[in-house]
A and B are shown apart, each in its own frame.
Chain A
């Protein structure tokens, strides 16, 4: 109420100024007349009374001014007047305005775009109810090389029944795929199974139908399916009748019960269909096979620490109860947000630093231009001072100009950031809601406004302060060169250039280190040759292919047919091609080694392959032989192992010819003979070191179903996709063939995030380089203009043109070198922060530092040379005549 009144009054004073002023005059007039009447009433003459009234009242205009001041519009009046004045000033120097706005807009756009992403990834709530209480729970298998292992169903079940810290805890199986038959071509869908409490735990409501019910967990119950919004729209045209419909997925019947809301995903955006996991009691007692992802909701008020303490207690109990599977196996919880944003957080923080640097450099640049401009306009600016304006007013006026400039840039930057944010959206990890629409909302708008205002003050304050110190007296004497912003101004301009160079060196060094890392990864030997290899997937549906013989027949026929296609060199099946999965991991017992202590069992990764797979991928055989025709169902079981495995468990012995068996010491499994050693392959990602790993022929391992078909071609791998599909369909016309891509794409995908981060940082560093060279150029040009007379005199007195060139060049290079030296020191200090983003290059990499310094020196020399040359061409006669 009071506020409304105040705002109304303020608005009235602002926008109906004439009316308010008229009222003020009338109020004063009334007072005086009333006082005169009073005086006349007490016997004075009218004239006497009036004089007395005015004397008693004081200066009418002064009182009016005070009244206006109390209405607090004076400040706003000034702002309005200053803004108009500033706009006229900017209009008068369009080159300056356009340059400053462009530079600042780029800086602000970069900041706004990164802010949108960072806000989404790091700050904004996840699209689940009370998401700050959601955690992921992992097994800690550090002692086996799996510090963050997917939990076993048995452990999940025990955590669920024993914990005191979770409101609820749900499990999700790993991403699988099911073939959807029916109308249209057979289609492969990415699916996940989950316990029935998953969606209620997350707090997700269905868009249509229902989500899981507790009885969906019943292993004897029906299979149900929940569609993602995307699948519902794409495959079923958004038809509400889909609820209750039966789908045939890989030969099994699923009933559609519901549709998830648009934009709701969990763990992966690719999951299109959710099924009920229906864990059997036997599965829920299994502590040995680790394949779940577990999410839990903390009880209100329970901290992460107490949750972790509780999990540790339970893990210790389980260790005692199941020593063979749970020895040295811990458990811990990670906040869901950290889980989802963990990989990208350092990169985003790095980019935030980089965009701040670019904006600072832009600010320094514009501040420099403003200083130079103020020097040129000093007569104009000194006028109000000479006429008695306060320094405060002058500062206010100058700051209005710079803030106005910054706001214009902010508006332009906001527009640019729409595009920038779209481009950057690829940085948002799966599971975090993607940016919708333009990405501009109130938060982004507020951020941009604040950063624009801040920028305006930042680059405006220094020129404003300098200008307010103008020496009016010397200007009045008409001393054009020494009056006003003199040597002090030059020192500030020099300091700004030094700062710019410093910031640019840091940014460029960071970019150089990142580029070197990316280069290292591209040139890294991944252990296989990805070029000319096509990958497709043919996941065999059960129960159709439950029978091993039928499966083997399928693989044999497909491999024979594809292998004989023209343009195909070789073909092989595997459970997982590199960079798609760690591979399964099995505990083994090595013949001749003593029984390992509990928890010390060797656990290599396992890949089940066909005989030509190793050759198809171009992996190098180090010792022994590859898997070949001799290795079939009836013959002696064999395995290839990688070097890491040979080194780890047969460090001093010849590994080829040794035997091991799957399972523990007492297991009644057949001995498997090592027939060869192959090169290590970066299976889990190019940056991850290879783990011990073994390859076994599918004929001898009837549990796994290899689904990746790798085909080495003589030409473009994608040119044979259609023929490969036809060959698969010739064997089984209902078989889905999906995911066709060159193996090289997997390498590219694996590096995509890093490539993006690197190119962003590189782009920002490029911007910094450009800004800095412009900064150096501008300062030197200005100096040359200022010193034209001096140069003319020097030349007239016999200085050579070379001397002049040298003088200007040296002035520029001195600034540059000071900045570069500071920059190298700062970069040495700051590049340590990049360490975990680097690969194969140290934070103090001399080559990177040298490159950056050379590049900058070259650019700086060029930026110095142009103005220096202009100085050299000064004609002494012209200058002296002008004097």
Chain B
């Protein structure tokens, strides 16, 4: 399911046949980072990811929700029903205190990892 969540806009899926920790961690990181600024509903999260990644990352919308529900069940984010920008009731997700800590930790991990990969690829 996770490998379906994100794909590159060229249409090639991320080339892993199974959801790996790396992929799941990346998805979590992107979602958490996205709602770190302000609480958002699912559709807005998908839009925002696309915009911010300058259309490079495309969110498979249907697959976004199980990820959100999982993060909620894990206690990193919490949901609240609110009035949306088009005056409808929508489910907004926001980081919990634990989620903020988790995000910080994951960001640091990501930095280390990307720096390390950069080193290996000789691009640092």
Contacts and interface: CB of A to CB of B under 8 A. Distances in A.
Contacts of A37: 86
**Contact-residue size bin, chain A (C-beta under 8 Å from the other chain):** 20 to 34
Given A10-B73, A67-B69, A70-B69, A34 B43 contact: yes
Nearest to A71: B73
A56 B74 CA distance: 27
A59 B60 CA distance: 12
A476 to B, nearest CB: 34
Given A63-B63, A70-B66, A71-B69, 6 more contacts: A3-B75, A6-B73, A34-B86, A34-B88, A59-B62, A70-B73
Interface stretch (A25-33, A139-147, A216-224, A337-345): A25-33
A26 B89 contact: yes
A556 interface: no
A9 B96 CA distance: 14
Nearest to B44: A34
B74 A1 contact: no
Contact of B62 (A1, A23, A34, A58): A58
B57 interface: no
A66 interface: yes
Interface string A693-715: 00000000000000000000000
A28 B78 contact: no
B66 A5 contact: no
B78 A27 contact: no
Contacts of A3: 75
B35 to A, nearest CB: 15
Contact of A30 (B63, B70, B89): B89
Contacts of B65: 27-28, 31, 63, 66-67
8 contacts: A1-B97, A2-B96, A30-B43, A30-B88, A31-B41, A57-B61, A66-B1, A66-B66
Determine chain A's interface SS by DSSP, over half rule: helix
B62 A72 contact: no
Interface string A57-76: 11110110011011110000
Interface in B32-84: 41-43, 60-63, 65-66, 69-70, 72-75, 78, 81, 84
A141 to B, nearest CB: 68
A64 to B, nearest CB: 8
Given A23-B91, A30-B89, A63-B65, A70 B70 contact: yes
B102 to A, nearest CB: 9
A869 interface: no
Contact of B75 (A6, A57, A66): A6
A6 B76 CA distance: 10
Given A5-B96, A10-B73, A58-B60, A67 B86 contact: no
Given A30-B89, A30-B91, A63 B43 contact: no
B29 to A, nearest CB: 18
B98 A2 contact: yes
Contacts of B75: 1-3, 5-6
A3 B91 CA distance: 22
Contacts of A1: 75, 97-98
A28 B96 CA distance: 23
A35 interface: yes
Interface in A551-565: none
Given A1-B98, A5-B96, A58-B63, A30 B41 contact: yes
Contact of A9 (B61, B73, B90, B97): B73
Contacts of B73: 6, 9-10, 70-72
A1 B74 CA distance: 12
B56 to A, nearest CB: 17
B84 A31 contact: no
Contacts of A63: 62-63, 65-66
Contacts of A72: 73
A30 B40 CA distance: 13
Given A5-B96, A58-B63, A30 B90 contact: yes
A6 B62 contact: no
A13 to B, nearest CB: 8
A35 B66 contact: no
Given A71-B69, A71-B73, A27 B98 contact: no
Contacts of B84: 30, 34
B67 to A, nearest CB: 8
B61 A56 contact: yes
A71 B61 CA distance: 19
Nearest to A29: B88
A10 B70 CA distance: 11
A58 B88 CA distance: 23
Contacts of A67: 65-66, 69
Among A1, A28, A67, max chain B CB count under 10 A is at: A67
A33 B97 CA distance: 31
A847 B62 CA distance: 77
A62 B41 CA distance: 20
B62 A27 contact: no
B62 to A, nearest CB: 3
A5 B88 contact: no
A57 B66 contact: no
10 closest pairs, A vs B, by CB? A58-B62, A2-B75, A66-B66, A70-B70, A34-B43, A63-B62, A57-B62, A67-B69, A5-B75, A70-B69
Contacts of A35: 43, 61
Nearest to A5: B75
B105 to A, nearest CB: 14
B61 A62 contact: no
Among A6, A28, A31, A35, max chain B CB count under 10 A is at: A31
Contacts of B98: 1-2
A6 B41 CA distance: 21
Contact of A27 (B1, B42, B63): B42
A5 B91 contact: no
Nearest to B102: A2
B91 A62 contact: no
A40 to B, nearest CB: 12
A2 B71 CA distance: 12
Nearest to B74: A6
Interface string A1-19: 1110110011000000000
Contacts of A71: 69, 73
A69 B66 contact: yes
A33 B75 CA distance: 28
Contacts of A58: 60-63
B86 to A, nearest CB: 6
A65 B97 CA distance: 29
A5 B79 CA distance: 12
Interface string A308-348: 00000000000000000000000000000000000000000
Contacts of A59: 62
A10 B60 CA distance: 26
B91 to A, nearest CB: 5
Nearest to B85: A34
Contacts of B1: 66
A107 B53 CA distance: 65
Contacts of A23: 81, 91
Nearest to B101: A2
A4 to B, nearest CB: 9
A74 to B, nearest CB: 13
B106 to A, nearest CB: 15
A397 to B, nearest CB: 26
A34 B40 CA distance: 13
A446 B106 CA distance: 39
B60 to A, nearest CB: 7
A471 to B, nearest CB: 33
A57 B5 CA distance: 11
Contacts of B86: 34, 37
A58 B73 CA distance: 23
Contacts of B63: 58, 63, 66
B59 to A, nearest CB: 10
A627 to B, nearest CB: 89
B66 A31 contact: no
